[in-house]
Structure 1
Amino acid sequence: MSGQFVAFFILSLLTIGGAVFMISLQKVVHQVVALAFSFLSIAGLYVMLEAEFVAVTQVLVYAGSISILMLFGIMLTRHDAHEDTGRGKFKFLAFIVVAAFFVLVFMGIQTMNIEGTPANFSQQNNVLEIGKLMFSQYVIPFEIMSVLLLVALVGAIILAKREADDK
């Protein structure tokens, strides 16, 4: 068992654990923190794949910006922290379904026969290639996403102002 396998296993467990905590925690702020934790673990997996630029982008955009934007949206809008979502009724059944799915996926992965040689990316400068693609072919979707995030933040502020005026 190599160190790379152990690191992958730990990062995978942290990613899945963050996702499970995100859907199982009751408070929205705790869910956002668990989601950010999962995003950071995914960035670690990108580092293992030697995609450093994608890992840094993952940390900056998802773990940083999206999580902060979600927290601002939560803080700016009114919500009832003591809502009864009815999650406790089917927790055991959900656990059984998730465990069965995990076992099926694990068995499927273990029985796969993957042959071939690993790719050698050390000769390529992936940051240069991503930069060329980003600013030539994908500049419009990149700018549209920035406008979309700005509109979401302005919308949250407008909703919070309307709710404050209604009081």
Structure 2
Amino acid sequence: MTVSGEFIAFLALALVAIIGGVLLLNLKKVVHMVVALVFTFLSIAGIYVLLSAEFLAVVQILVYSGAISIIMLFGIMLTKHNDEDEGDSKGGGWRKAFLFLGVLAFGAVFYIGIYNLDFGSAPAALHENNPEQIGIELYSKYVIPFELMSVLLLVAFVGAIVLSRNDEKEEADKE
């Protein structure tokens, strides 16, 4: 087995993604959880770059690492929550041990599952005009679901505005 730079980069990015996910589940402060989630999102974008999907990597960074993380931080800042750390409940050490064993079992199952996996050698033009290929697929085969999703997002946006205006009116009526 030869070890290439791409293999080392994949292992590093995969390790950061796994560590970010585990930290997300184990950290106590919500802001720290969001930071761990950002590291996971960025490492997934790096994996997309390794797969020659630069367009998806940029979208991953812009949408998930940027917009979704900022929305989560605003949601955390605008809501009331208790920042006090609660003491570890009984069995905290056992919980961490089971979590570690679960992560190891998950990794072992995936390693066994993909060790001898062979997809064949079908020729594919992966590195040629990624955004163009995505656009052609999106606007030829999937144009109806794409338009339905835009209408759904528009309805959700209008609904959020109506709900926020109703809350403002109720607060004004109480005064």
The change in CA–CA distance for 1:128 and 1:46 in structure 2 (over 3 A counts) is same
Q: Which residue of the other structure, out of 98, 102, 112, is the alignment partner of 2:103?
A: 98
Structure 1: how far apart are the matches of 2:161 and 2:34?
16
Q: Say which of 58, 61, 66 aligns to 1:59.
A: 61
CA RMSD between the two structures: 3.2
Cα–Cα, structure 1 residues 151 and 51, in superposed 2: closer, same or farther, change >3 Å?
farther
Equivalent residue for 2:124, pick from 120, 126, 139: 120
Q: How far has the Cα of 1:90 moved from its partner?
A: 2.0
Output the amino acid matched with 1:96.
L
Indicate conservation of the 8 Å contact 1:36/1:63, yes or no.
yes
Please report the TM-score for the alignment, with normalisation by the length of structure 2: 0.74
Unaligned runs of 5+ in 1: 163-167
Flag structure 2 segments of 5+ consecutive residues without an equivalent: 171-175
SS in 1 for 2:124: coil
Q: Deviations over 1:123-156 (max 9, x none)?
A: 6422123234445611331453476578679979
Q: In the alignment, does 2:55 pair up with 1:76? A: no
Q: Assess if the C-alpha contact under 8 Å between 1:69 and 1:153 holds in 2.
A: no
Distance apart, 1:103 and its partner CA: 2.2
Q: Which runs of 4+ in 1 moved over 6 A?
A: 149-156
Structure 2 residue aligned with 1:165: none
Task: Show the counterpart of 1:12.
Answer: 14
TM-score normalised over the length of structure 1: 0.77
Give 2:42's match in structure 1, choosing from 31, 40, 43: 40
Asked whether the equivalents of residues 73 and 153 of structure 1 are also in contact (C-alpha less than 8 Å), the reply is no
Structure with higher Rg: it is: 2
Give me the identity figure in percent. 43
Count matched residues.
Answer: 158
